[in-house]
Structure 1
Amino acid sequence: MNASSQTLGQLESARSLALGDGRYYPTIIPGVLPIIGANANATLEIRRWGADFLAETFASPTWPSESKESLGLTVLPTLLEYLEQVEDTGVIKSAVQAAASIYPLIYRHIISDAHDTQDWQLMAAIKSNILRRMDLAPPGVRICCVKFVQQVVLVETPGIVDPRRPEQNDISLALVPRDHPLIPYSTLEAEASGLLDRLLDIVHGDHSDALLVTATLNSLGMLIQRRPYVTNKILSSVLNFNPLKLANSPMTPKNKVMMKSMERTTRALLMNVMKRNPEGPFNGRIQQYLERMHRMRLDVFDESNRKRPAPVEPTDGLDPAKRQRLGANIPSAPPSVPPLPPGPVSFRELFTLSPDGNTANFDVQVFRDPEQLLRIIVPILQSIDETKLGNAINIVRSRYLALSKAQPRTAIDTAPAATLVAVDDEEEYEPDFEPEDAEQIANKLDSTQPDSLLPERVSDARLAPYKLPQAPPLTEQEIQKYGDSTVRRVFGMLSALDDSKAKGTKGGFNRLAASNNDRDSWATILSRLATRAATGLEDSGDDIKMEFNSLSKKGNLALAEMIREAIYNYIIYDWKKRIDVAIRWLNEEWYNDRIQIEAMRTAAKDATNGDAVRTAEPKGNYQRCTLKLMDGIMAFVEGTDKVLLRFISEIPELDRDLLNRIKKMAEDPERIELAIMVFQYLYMFRPPVRQVVVEVLEDMWRTNDRAKPSAKKLLVKWKPGVLYEEVKNETANGALEVKAI
């Protein structure tokens, strides 16, 4: 037995002892850490055992969390070494699971001890390493990363706090002080929101890894149960999830198993939500979703679940009972057809096959509208049995052949040509515009030679080619009218599409505008129609001006403004849910403005043979559209609408006019904290506008008495000189007043 096997045997003995009694964990862990560490020259088997032991230890409920918290601080260096130095999949999976169990404990420790910077930096390094692996690691590691992200979202979102029993309080963001130096409240809240979006992106992304999607759905169940704060967001996303998306791909056995797994997991998740809260606001939508999934599942798996089909057997020569069992059609006797009347036969009598003849007396002239007649005839023709139609054609054909052979030539046919001319001259003159009655038409048909009715004779004359006349050109008013109608139809369809994001597409301004038929693709197309279609941005620099002039003559600029107005109205109608469309639109406007400025500079430089010439930059549309959209949103923003923070943080460019809107919003006492949060975020994460933020905040501090305490907290850190100057001025004014008295 080698040393490694002997060491593993001793470690297994210690593990068995701890499993039997959880009180031995605090004693065993300090003893095994020097052996299982990544820098302890241990073999891969020992490292795997150590990672598994740590994951099992901190997930065990047999010893108190207070002891886990103190020992969790000691194992952080070991977990970080495993994640950074060991590439074995088994070690990484167990290390991530152990980190998921330890993170809430370290989080609670940092809340109570705000000066323990070293341990929090170790935990932050572990978290960053795990989040980097979440998208590129093997499937097993990614599932463990999903568990870790679930724990992070749990502790970094507000939970229910009971001040009467603080020992029973759940570890959540509600326990974090607002002014905590290591874990700021707003930063943790934003991080939790972003990680939750990453979990939801897995659900709506690639379904080729059903295990990962199933694991994510299971993790969402815990978040729905323990965090009502994010329940609406999760359920809205799950109700837009289609677990049978792979039905469009080849129906291989693997795809069938994956679809069944995801569908059952989704159904179980939503049914548990309904059981926990029978009066929940989402129960109606959940019931409709489950019914729709049930119908879709039957449609997708109907062929695989169908019983064995009946054997293919010949039906000729079998008795009627056997024909009935096989589903064969028993030939019926041909219907009775009335014989033709003696004497001359009209076309109506030739084609009449019904015994009663009632249909022959029906006058089709009662249908004044040809469209109405077509709506009746087309369904009737589609419902006719092909066999019966063939039998009827054969009967008419036999009748016609019999008449063509038996009918003698009339006296008019045997008369000489001169006689025919005389007879024709003696007939009364009848104008062409007079309608002929039925009797006249019947007489003419009776006097016609039978041979002239043959299809072979009639088909000898070839029809001349027919060409549709060219449509008249549209006027500018018609172009504007039809363009307006098209844009309205597109936005109507856009409102009906699901709010699902296309995954796996190329990002950036040069990405494909539409890779899927979803809401995001159509929103991108409309944004680019409004920004790029009327400027010729894809042409060379020499052709930009010419293309711009030619398009502007056709009214494309007016059409672009109409599309912009339609996008604005679409966003304002439900701005919280459609804020991503607003951000995408403004990014396209900003990109278009930059391209136009660059094109104008290049053209001016070429015109002056490379000399630098300052030209007036074109007035773009980004700032105008941004301010208009901001003014529209401000009328509906409430103090709890943190969607505004996302909007301000993701638009490409900020200026003083936009920040003045935020300052104006702070005049409402209920929205002061939201404005302060926006300024704080911009100062921390948008360095180019820091100076403008401080100036606007200073102006708000001087002019808004209600916002003065909140603004003062930020100015103390960013520009304390303003406060000292104010105190100095107040002191001087007080001295002057005393002197005057």
Structure 2
Amino acid sequence: MTSLSQLASARTLALGDGRYYRTIVPGVLPIIAVNAQGTTLEVQRWGADFLAETFASPTWPSDAKEPISLTVLEVLNQYLKVDDVGIVKSTIQAAATIYPLVYRHTVSQPHDDGPWKLMLSIKSNILQRMDSAPPGVRICCVKFVQQVVLVQTPGMPVDPRRPEQNDISLTILPRDHPLMPYGNMEAEGSGLLDRLLDIIHGNHGEALLVTATLNALGMLIQRRPMIANRILSSVLSFNPLKLANSPMTPKSKVIIRSIERTTRALLLNVSRRNPDANLHARINQYLDRIARMRIDVFDESNRKRPAPTEPTDGLDTSKRQRLGAVVPNPAPVIPPLPPGPVSFRELYTLNTDANTANFDVQIFQDRETLYRILVPILHSVDEKKLGQALNIVRTRYLAKSEEAARNNANAANGVSVDDDEEEYEPDFEPEDAEQIINRLDSAPPDDGPGPASSAPLAPYKLPEAPPLTEQEAQRYGDMTIRRVFGMLSAIDDASMKSKGSKGGFNRLAATTYDQDASITILCRLATRSAAGLDDPDGNIKSEYEVAKKGSFALSETIRDALFNYIMYDWRRRIDIAINWLNEEWYNDQLQVQAARQKAQAAMNGDAANLPVPKSNYRRCALRLLDGMMAYIESSDKVLVRFISEIPELDREILQRMKKMAEDPERVSLSIMVLQFLYMFRPPVRDITVDVLEDMWRTNDRAKPQAKKLLSKWRPHVLETENEVKMEAMNGSYEVQPVS
């Protein structure tokens, strides 16, 4: 049990991440082998299932599966000799997925003949089970034969430039391969295809095998166009209703329906994928013929004589008329009146036909027309039927009159109408103490002013929630922020932009309820919530100080979340970064303005002790720029846009361009940013030229490009440098006196 639990843990690890398969499979092979020490049948079953699941898993590529598949061939060969249906089925499934990998390995390395010999032994064992094995094993054999036919039939033409994308087929096999002769492989594939087609034309008693073969043929038609016509011709000559010629039983009916539906689904998929009009006509003609045959088989009403609808006891009306016998009139069936009060229409309605009962005589506007219709009808009424109808209406009227009188008398005496009926009252068991308490709690109070229905309802007020501590408020705020950013990460930016949200200076935040509105709200929560809270105020209460600290911490949490959200895909989310920095700069300006107003109000006091507002904009801008510097490439022109659109630049921000120029591949991008700022942001021209001059003096790789710009913007720097060089050269050539 310990080994099984450990193996199950390894399987769970591999299912979570496909990269572990290449290390787990070699580790478990010595444990699950047939000749391993201490192995049991349960371990071998687990091993067969694990190998079938491993090589069918799409979580790791076929290139990584190929070397691992060569190591498990010996284990699969041993499993085929075990007398257990479950092990054999899983082994055949694993062999079906491994066969193309071993084939490709042998094609590329013909000198390595060991894996191919083992694969031939496994293939021979499986093909021998095709006719005599249990149905479940035979279905797995059909899957294996399908893979062999896929591999050993010509596929699409190969592309020598992209060998990794070529399909594994007979096309990649050289004509002179020493281990796999081309002619033998092609003939074997054609013979196995005939073997599959013989299954659908053979005995239909095994419906699962026939449907499995039809499903296997569908993939062959799709992936091997060279043999598609051959398969379709065989399928179109196939009779899925073959069992209808034998005596029909419930089992045979189910088998016929299953095979017929699978065949119809196969042909409809082929018709949908193939644009050939002639093929569509052949398939539609075949499906129409099968549909007619199905109706003939299952519609018993068309094959049998219907049962007689007339009575056979000699009392049929039409026959008695011919014989001259007296036919007794059956008693009319009158529907009962509904309970409760009834209308005159319901009282006089005796015909159950809804069309007659709902007929409105008001449609006859002309009385003369109504008289011409009504008088002949009254003359044709049978007197006996009219008398019966009058008696029924009289009986109804009397019954309703007695019921109304009885109800009035009971109401006058205070007796309920339902008191006359005898109710069923079961003998309940004695209630225990807990049941009595629950019943008393749910009962209305006895000392009330009157019935519960007449008492006014008192206003209900929910109890106030307990106050949150600072830690709880911070934790709940962090949870909300993470939830909001998780929702934003799931939104596709392209789909949000396609909605046509209005931008520019006239837009309003949170009017479109999209990603842009959510980001704007978060940016303003991060910036405006902390505005003014750092200023000391002696009149602030202690409980407000707690909220102040919590608000400030919440704003920092939002800033951290915004930074992480932008850096996750900063090239696409550069607009969000620019909007965030604009909000930070605007908030800093508001704080500076508020500080100046306080300074003017405190001119008579000690204005020197007023704190300087903290600049969040500069700190966030440097943080974003430092984060981008690690990932910026020479082709990322988005940096030019970011530097040019942020609201304020200083020397420390532009010094990042000098640091980025230390990378030889990003020198041109740094020079481009400085050149753009000099041309389109005149307020920072002096800082830009200073940074460029510093770059020219300290960075040899940037000197040629920086020199071109300095010759236009600050030529005296180059002239001074030339004079210094000339003086140095003249001093070096002075004649030294001989001592």
Q: TM-score, normalized by length of structure 1?
A: 0.42
Q: Which has the higher contact order (CA 8 A, sep 6+)?
A: 1
Q: TM-score, normalized by length of structure 2?
A: 0.42
**Greater Rg, structure 1 or structure 2?**
2
